[in-house]
Amino acid sequence: MYWDDLAYFVCLVEKQTLTACAEEMNVQHSTVARRIEHLEQTLGVNLFDRLGKRYALTIEGERLYHQAVEVKKEMVTFQRMAIDQNALQGEVVVSTPPVWANEVLIPALTDCRRQFPDIVVSLRGDVGMSNLHQREADIAIRTHRPTQEDLVIRTLGSSTYRFYAHKDYLNNTMHQQWQLIEFQANARVLAWSQTLIKQYAYTIAFSTNDLYMACHASRQKIGFALLPEFLAHQYPELTAIDPINRVPLTDLETHSSVDNYATAEPLQPEQLDTPSPIPLAQSYPLYLVMHPDVRRSARVRAVADWLIDCSNRLEGFA
């Protein structure tokens, strides 16, 4: 039996169709069909019922699937151990929120290349948690702390969010007509915005699930938005505001609001249904996450140290 057949088996269970599995495995769908047929013949077991284009597990397939997942994990671990752990060369895959990749890591890549010319950093901009057990990424940077107990987790720091608007928008728009740009992708930030709308009768001018779109909409004077400081500071035309009293914040007031809220627990969606004081700024932690197996790799450790150094040098990040 070929061990790779198990990988095709697990993938087909999860994707359900030959086409989706082939795209995931980067092969032709005929290859997937051939590998599954070979596995069934080798085992002498019918693993799937063919229902049109869908492949549904048989009872026997269901029993073997869970064991196949564990075998696949062991094979991934074996592959990791077979890699030269002391070589500062090869690829390191880093899964990170897109805004962090663009604003923090890419500007610092020249320094990384200078230090480690034989390491290829592969950045994958996503907000979902990559499966570190199956090596979808070597390192993940996340805004939520993972719940898996076997992962290595380090807090990089915290990113402060506050309300920002274009200076011309503030000068040319009556404060009674201020409108909010809604960012939907972050549940905590969205709940914060919705509470402001509910308690202070704001209306939404624009809504998006992309942080860059929210930022650039505020730069186009569409309204004001909740943005991380490290992003807003890239654009001097944006200024911090107090949407409760509907006034811009001075530098002193901005610093004071960070002192007041930077160490506070972030508001959770379930806590925002009842009237409560709305903070002008909140800080959210950022986590560096690795599987313990890859931590032994010299190149992964080197990239992890570079990521930590990037966060230490970032303005508006504590």
DSSP 112: H
Please classify residue 36 by burial: count the beta carbons closer than 10 Å to its beta carbon, then call 0-12 exposed, 13-18 middle and 19+ buried.
buried
CA distance 277 to 94: 38
Are 139 and 300 a contacting pair, CB within 8 Å?
yes
Looking up tokens 């095709």 gives 8
Paired tokens of 32: 């997937």
Question: Which tokens sit at 119?
Answer: 């390491």
Residue 165, classed as helix, strand or coil, is strand
Between the two ends of the chain, the Cα-to-Cα distance in Å is: 52
pLDDT of residue 304: 93
For tokens 């004077």, what's the residue? 221
- Distance separating alpha carbons of residues 116 and 188, to the nearest angstrom: 37
pLDDT tens digits, 259-283: 444 333 444 555 545 556 889 999 9
CA dihedral 199, 202, 208, 212 (to 10 degrees): -100
Three-state DSSP at 139 gives strand
Pairing of strands 224-228, 238-242: unpaired
Q: Which residues contact 157 (CB under 8 A, 6 or more apart)?
A: 285, 286, 311, 312, 314, 317, 318
Cα separation, 129 vs 223, whole angstroms? 31
What pLDDT shows up at residue 154? 92
Distance CA 48, CA 56 (A): 5
Q: What local confidence, expressed as pLDDT, does residue 295 receive?
A: 76
Are 151 and 294 contacting, i.e. CB atoms less than 8 angstroms apart?
Answer: no
135: left (phi over 0), alpha (psi -120 to 50) or beta: left
Tens place of pLDDT per residue across the chain (318 aa): 567 788 889 999 988 899 999 998 889 989 999 999 998 898 888 898 888 888 888 988 888 888 888 887 777 766 666 655 567 888 999 999 889 899 889 999 999 999 999 999 999 887 665 566 566 789 999 888 888 777 889 998 888 999 999 999 999 999 999 999 999 988 889 999 999 999 999 999 999 999 999 999 999 999 999 999 999 999 999 999 999 999 999 875 666 665 444 333 444 555 545 556 889 999 989 999 988 878 778 899 999 999 998 888 765 565
pTM value is: 0.64
H helix runs in 116-228, sequence order = 167-172, 187-200, 211-219
Is there a contact between 137 and 76 (Cβ–Cβ < 8 Å)? no
The token duo for 249 is 């914040």
Q: What are residue 124's DSSP bridge partners?
A: 95
* pLDDT for the residue 272: 46
In the chain, DSSP finds a helix count (H) and a strand count (E) of 12, 12
Nearest to 192 by CA among 200, 78, 83: 200
Q: Residue 1 class from Cβ within 10 Å (0-12 exposed, 13-18 middle, 19+ buried)? A: exposed
Q: Tell me, what's the pLDDT at 276?
A: 66
133: phi then psi, degrees, rounded to nearest 5:
-70, -30
Looking at residue 186, what is its pLDDT? 84
The whole-number pLDDT of residue 194 equals: 94
* Alpha carbons within 13 A on the beta-carbon side of 237: 12
Alpha-carbon dihedral angle through residues 297, 292, 112, 229, given to the nearest 10 degrees: 180
